[in-house]
A and B are shown apart, each in its own frame.
Chain A
Amino acid sequence: MIEIQNLSKSFGDLHVLNDVSIDVNAGENFVVFGKSGSGKSVLLKCIVGLLKPDAGKIIVNDKNVMEFSSKELNEFRKNLGFLFQGAALYDSMSVRENLEFPLKRNFSFTKNELDTKVLETLELVGLVEAVDKAPSELSGGMRKRIGLARSIITDPALMLYDEPTTGLDPITSKEISVLILNLQKKLKMTSIVVTHDLLCAEIIADRAIMINEGSIVFDGTIDKITDSKDKFLKNFFSNEIFNE
């Protein structure tokens, strides 16, 4: 479904992505590991067209995203969901208005259909009671769930998650990870999850890659990545520190 070919992105002298190539199959849960600042979020932002890569190709369903006109890019975006690291809920809107926003702007729903859709989606993330709350009244975990609900309300075929469990306690982290897995199974989405949370990846991932200093240093299953003898990978996943 997604084919990234030789993608490179720099900010001034800082080379964030170096010749990165990835294939993600339809319906797959694909996890991208990496240290903070390794270019994971930049990769996601390049896929959705928020950042323009310096070189390479991003092919989604046989079409190069980088060659899209602004109209085509909008059509592509209508069919994807993006959960931002801080959930990025619109502060000036209630939870209901946050969820209604992408539907009202891009589709034609009646008032009743909107209400039903909002409540159904909140039911999926277990937060129906928060429908008329303001984002400022929600906890970190609740904000992530509402962010997730807003991302999936348009029934996207492709879902991108930027650090979905960062800043959450272990129990809420686990709940969010299980929720992501269940939603993926139910809605049959293709997912790319950027994280450095091994527990989250163990729950979600079909396949994972590790990015270090802008390049892919591992591509395989979670079992293989955690069993690897590579010192960088051992340092990343183990409680012990190994000298490289």
Chain B
Amino acid sequence: MNLPQIKYIQNPTTAERLYAFFANISGLTIFNMEFLKQTFSTPIEIAQIKKHMIELGVKTFPIVSIMGFILGFVLALQSYPVLERFGATDFLPPTVALSVIRELGPVLTAIIFAGRVSSGIGAELSSMRVTEQIDAMEVSAVNPFKYLVVTRVIATTMILPILTIYVITIALVGGFIAITITDSMSLIYYKNSVIAAITFGDFVPGMAKTFLFGYIVGIVGCYKGFTADGGTEGVGRASTTAVVMSSLLILISDMVLVKISVWLWPSIG
């Protein structure tokens, strides 16, 4: 795998910025192709994938729990006065549910996941790179790309949809608690309203994109970590740029995927 060399320059010129931008795009493309090639080659590191899934899930669990609860709670509180103005407070449960399931749940979970996990992967792999641990692995006749990168990317791709389902559930609980504070609504009515409002077209596109978001978080973190240089300063840079790049790619891909899902399922538009 021959990746383009990107040297850190403190005060880059416009031409150097442009070079770094296109070098990053081509580097990430080559890195993706290597991932696809190596994912389907044996041996498949099941134990490592499982280990990373548990680690990443546990690491992100507390923060997404808080985020999910606040998301549903605030959404219900903010929507209530608007719906009340039109005498439509009965629509509060579907409003909260559809907003959380279609868009806010998947995207916000992915952004939080990127901040927590992409930076962690970037820092861990870059520190392994600058302390020659990746070289040591290669010299031990172990393929570091397969052992370190493929396992992490598969783990992030698999764990983010699970976390998103959990966040959606917690957000719906948060929404119900907010509604019971401002209005009297039974849990059964809330549950039935939510279930009646959700269709296949609401749930599937939202969940499908979380696989892509998880993949983005993993691949960008690994790319930045695996290609780091410049000692401890390089470790910090890899960690920061991994978060920025993965968050940006999540938002851009969300925009494209929403357009595609509206085209595939016009009823949700």
Asked whether A88 lies within 8 Å of B136 as measured between CB atoms, the reply is yes
Q: For B131, what are the chain A residues with a Cβ–Cβ distance below 8 Å?
A: 86, 88, 91
Asked whether B140 lies within 8 Å of A105 as measured between CB atoms, the reply is yes
> Looking at the complex, which of A74-82, A108-116, A183-191 is the stretch in contact with chain B?
A74-82
- Option from A50, A75, A92 in Cβ contact (under 8 Å) with B139: A50
Asked whether B140 lies within 8 Å of A91 as measured between CB atoms, the reply is no
Majority secondary structure, B binding face: helix
Asked whether B135 lies within 8 Å of A106 as measured between CB atoms, the reply is no
Asked whether A88 lies within 8 Å of B133 as measured between CB atoms, the reply is yes
By beta carbon, the residue of chain A nearest B140 is A102
Q: How far is the CB of A156 from chain B (nearest CB, A)?
A: 10
Q: For B132, what are the chain A residues with a Cβ–Cβ distance below 8 Å?
A: 84-86, 88
Q: How far is the CB of A184 from chain B (nearest CB, A)?
A: 19
Q: For A106, what are the chain B residues with a Cβ–Cβ distance below 8 Å?
A: 140-142
- Given A77-B141, A78-B141, A102-B141, A91–B127 Cβ distance below 8 Å? yes
Per-residue contact bits, chain A 39-51, to B (CB 8 Å; 1 contact, 0 not): 0000001001010
Q: For A85, what are the chain B residues with a Cβ–Cβ distance below 8 Å?
A: 132
Interface residue? A101 (CB, 8 A): yes
Q: A236 vs B141: C-alpha distance in the bound complex, in angstroms?
A: 36
Q: A195 vs B139: C-alpha distance in the bound complex, in angstroms?
A: 20
Q: A104 vs B150: C-alpha distance in the bound complex, in angstroms?
A: 19
Q: A89 vs B124: C-alpha distance in the bound complex, in angstroms?
A: 14
Q: For A84, what are the chain B residues with a Cβ–Cβ distance below 8 Å?
A: 132, 135-136
Q: For A101, what are the chain B residues with a Cβ–Cβ distance below 8 Å?
A: 140, 142
Per-residue contact bits, chain B 71-106, to A (CB 8 Å; 1 contact, 0 not): 000000000000000000000000000000000000
Q: How far is the CB of B33 from chain A (nearest CB, A)?
A: 16
Per-residue contact bits, chain B 118-134, to A (CB 8 Å; 1 contact, 0 not): 00000010011001110
Q: For A90, what are the chain B residues with a Cβ–Cβ distance below 8 Å?
A: 128, 133, 136-137
Q: A90 vs B134: C-alpha distance in the bound complex, in angstroms?
A: 9
By beta carbon, the residue of chain B nearest A78 is B141
Asked whether B142 lies within 8 Å of A88 as measured between CB atoms, the reply is no
Q: A86 vs B137: C-alpha distance in the bound complex, in angstroms?
A: 14
Q: For A88, what are the chain B residues with a Cβ–Cβ distance below 8 Å?
A: 131-133, 135-136
